[in-house]
Amino acid sequence: MAERTPPLQAQDKLTFLLSLVPYLMDHDRISVTDVAAHFGMKPEQIRDAVRLIGVSGVPGDTAAYQHGDLFDIAWDDFEDNDEIVLTNRVAIDDSPRFSAREASALIAGLQYLSALPEHADRAAIASLMAKLSRGASSAPGQVAVASSETDATLAVIRQSVASGMQVEFDYRNSQGSAEHRRVDPLRVESMDADWYLRGWDHLREAVRTFRLDRISAPQVTTEAITFAAGDVVLPELLFEASAADLIVTVDVAPAAAFLLADYMTDGGTQTQPDGRLRTTIRVSHYHGLKRLMASMSGVATVVEPPEARAVVAAWAAAGAARYTDAG
C-alpha cells in the first residue's frame, strides 16, 4: 500500500505556493521531479499544488472569472510528460516594472558593489542582476562601470579578501610622510570624489582609514587575515574625532550643511542674518580643509581661525593664478 503524503498546514501551503509561482516563472519548463527536489517535497505534493494554481486567479471587472483571469499551464505536458509550463500568468505580470534605463542604472551600481571587499557573496549579486534584466519593461542597455586610477589597488584588495591573506602597501599621508602598512581590508567607502580603505592596521593595532590614491605598491602577503569584514564593528562615521584635530568655524548654506555632517562637532549651529548656518567642524589638517572648501565653492566660507582662512585663500588664489597664466 502506497505511503500517504501528510497534508500541509494552511499557513505552510500558502507560503509554499507564494514561493512556487515565482520559481516556475523563472523556469520556462521544468519537471515535477526537479521542483520536488528543490523544495524538499514529494512529487505528488507538487502535482497537487500545480492543479491548485490552475484554478487560481483574479476575477475581472464583472466579478466573475473569465478567460485570462486564471493561471493556466500546458496540461498535455503536465499529464503526459510530468513537466510544468506556465502559459498564462495573472496579476503578477501587471505589477510595476523598472524601465530599461532604471534597470541599467541599478545593474551598474551592483556591478560596482560586487567589486568591493565587504560584498563577498558575488553570486547573490549576479543573481539579482539577472533578475533585474528579466524583470525590466524592456531589455536594459549594456552597462560598463568606468575604470579609475584606483582600480589596480582595488584589485589587490579583492585578491586579499578572496585568498584570506593580508595586504601590504606603502602609504603617504597628507603631511607627506611615508610608512609601510600591513592591513586586513574591511570596507571600501567614498566621500565626494575620493575613495578610502578601512581596515585593521597591524602597525597601529586598530582600525584605520587609508585613501586609495595615496596607496602605492600594494601586494598580497602570505600572512592570514586576522579580521574579516564581519568580525569588526566599524563606526558609522568615516572619520572619528581625535584630540589632535583642528577646530574650524565655517558659514554654510542650509541646503549644503549635510555635506559637512561627518565633520561637525557636537556644538550648536547658529543661523546668521544672511540665512547661512555657522557651525564648527573638525579637520585633521589644513590640507584636508583646502580640499573640502574647494568642493563647496560658493556655499561654504571659512570664518576662523585666521590661519585657516589664510591657508584656504592662498590655495584658491594659487589655483586661480594658473588660469590667468594659461590665458
CATH of the domain at 219: 2.30.30
The one-character DSSP state at 180 is E
Question: Is 297 within a domain?
Answer: yes
* 308 to 241, 244, 290, 318: CA distances (angstroms): 19, 15, 9, 16
Same domain, 159 and 206: yes
Same domain, 126 and 179: no
Best-predicted range by mean pLDDT among 57-66, 85-94, 221-230, 239-248?
221-230
pLDDT at 166: 94
CATH of the domain at 72: 1.10.10
pLDDT exceeds 60 at position 95: no
Same domain, 14 and 79: yes
What is the extent of the structural domain holding 105?
A: 100-135
Q: Which of 137, 54, 65 lies closest to 89 in space, CA to CA?
A: 54
Question: Is 236 within a domain?
Answer: no
Distance in Å from the first CA to the final CA of the chain: 97
pLDDT at 19: 82
Question: Is 210 within a domain?
Answer: yes
Best-predicted range by mean pLDDT among 61-70, 138-147, 282-291?
282-291
pLDDT exceeds 50 at position 53: yes
Same domain, 202 and 260: no
The one-letter amino acid at 257: A
Same domain, 90 and 32: yes
Cα of 248 vs its chain's centroid, Å: 33
Are 20 and 54 in contact by the 8 Å Cβ rule? The answer is no
pLDDT at 1: 45
Cell 524592456, located at residue: 138
- pLDDT cut 90: percent of the chain above it: 21
Q: What is the mean pLDDT of residues 73-82?
A: 89
Same domain, 87 and 18: yes
Counted domains in the chain: 4
Please enumerate in sequence order all residues whose Cβ is within 8 A of that of 163, keeping only pairs 6 or more positions apart, or say none: 220
CATH of the domain at 282: 3.30.70
Question: Is 182 within a domain?
Answer: yes
Question: Is 232 within a domain?
Answer: no
pTM: 0.42
pLDDT exceeds 60 at position 4: no
Grid cell, residue 117, equals: 571587499
The one-letter amino acid at 128: L
* 42 to 13, 51, 175, 311: CA distances (angstroms): 14, 15, 68, 75
Question: Is 171 within a domain?
Answer: yes
Same domain, 86 and 117: no
pLDDT exceeds 80 at position 194: no
CB atoms under 10 Å from CB of 142, counted, come to 7
Please enumerate in sequence order all residues whose Cβ is within 8 A of that of 247, keeping only pairs 6 or more positions apart, or say none: 265, 280, 281, 282
Question: Is 143 within a domain?
Answer: no
Of 191, 224, 257, the residue at which a domain comes to its end is 224
pLDDT at 11: 58
Which of 99-108, 138-147, 154-163, 315-324 has the lowest average pLDDT? 138-147
Of 109, 135, 161, the residue at which a domain comes to its end is 135
Compute, in degrees rounded to 10, the torsion defined by CA atoms 176, 182, 184, 190: 10
Which of 47-61, 99-113, 217-231 has the lowest average pLDDT? 99-113
pLDDT per residue over 25-41, tens digit each? Answer: 888 889 999 999 988 88
pLDDT exceeds 80 at position 186: yes
Q: Is 44 left (phi over 0), alpha (psi -120 to 50) or beta?
A: alpha
Helix H or strand E segment including 161: helix 151-163
Residues 258-280 as b or e (16 or more Cβ within 10 Å = b): ebbeebbeeeeeeeeeeebbebb
Of 85, 108, 135, the residue at which a domain comes to its end is 135
Same domain, 107 and 69: no
Grid cell, residue 251, equals: 558659514
Name the average pLDDT for the chain: 78
Question: Is 189 within a domain?
Answer: yes
Are 160 and 185 in contact by the 8 Å Cβ rule? The answer is yes
